[in-house]
Amino acid sequence: MIRSDCFSFLCGYHVYMAKEVKIGGGWKEKLKDQFGEPYFKELTDFVREEYTKATIFPDPKNIFRAFDLAPVDEVKVVILGQDPYHGAGQANGLCFAVNPGVRPPPSLQNIFKEIEDDLGHEVSHDTDLSRWARQGVLLLNATLTVRAGSAGSHQGKGWEQFTDAVIKKLNDERGGLVFILWGNYAKAKGAHIDRTKHCVIESPHPSPFSAHNGFFGSKPFSKTNEYLKGRREKEIEW
């Protein structure tokens, strides 16, 4: 049985096949070379089939939400995640974020704690994080879809090649961006970022398994704003 919220996706309203990718913010033109690649056709075939036979997160309309909310020419900060959350109602297309009203996962709770310790004042605990994206923070997962209850289930299908291309475009064609890399996976994915033209902030992952090993106290949020201020750019209201 095909879920009703996937029907329009399969019929074309949210189709992201090579010539009909529904991605906004100027990204479609920037990434057009990827959409015609064989790997991308294989990826879209795989994901489309997955939506017909299983519960997949996020909702189809939110697969490219990180790009829609952070136009390519307005990106100032990139935060790299790995997979969308795989629990019901969680994933919303932005890494580390969950839908409004959903209990924040431990990593997001630790992120909020570090922001407040870093900046020295309370901040919004709105779990959606779209307020960051609209300020030019690209909240990019390496893999953009996942099966419900099955972490990593869409890894190795082509998403990583696509998001590597995103990072390379930003690295090569922009200057003065801040890349925030939490954990070994993000550090490896960002290994080729040119640190002579961008600011790279690394620390352990905010997961409870590693947060006390260097994430807490790493001050990525004030460091980001100090860098932006030094470039006379508007700071992020975390």
Q: What local confidence, expressed as pLDDT, does residue 140 receive?
A: 98
Start-to-end CA span in the chain (Å):
42
Q: Which residues are tagged catalytic?
A: 83
Q: CA angle, corner 25, sides to 33 and 27, nearest 5?
A: 10
pLDDT of 113 > 90? The answer is: yes
Nearest 5°: CA angle at 208, between 205 and 211?
45
Per-residue pLDDT reduced to its tens digit, 197-219:
999 999 999 999 999 999 999 99
Structure confidence by residue, pLDDT tens digits, 143-166: 999 999 999 999 999 999 999 999
The predicted model scores a pTM of 0.91
Phi/psi of residue 60, nearest 5 degrees: -50, -40
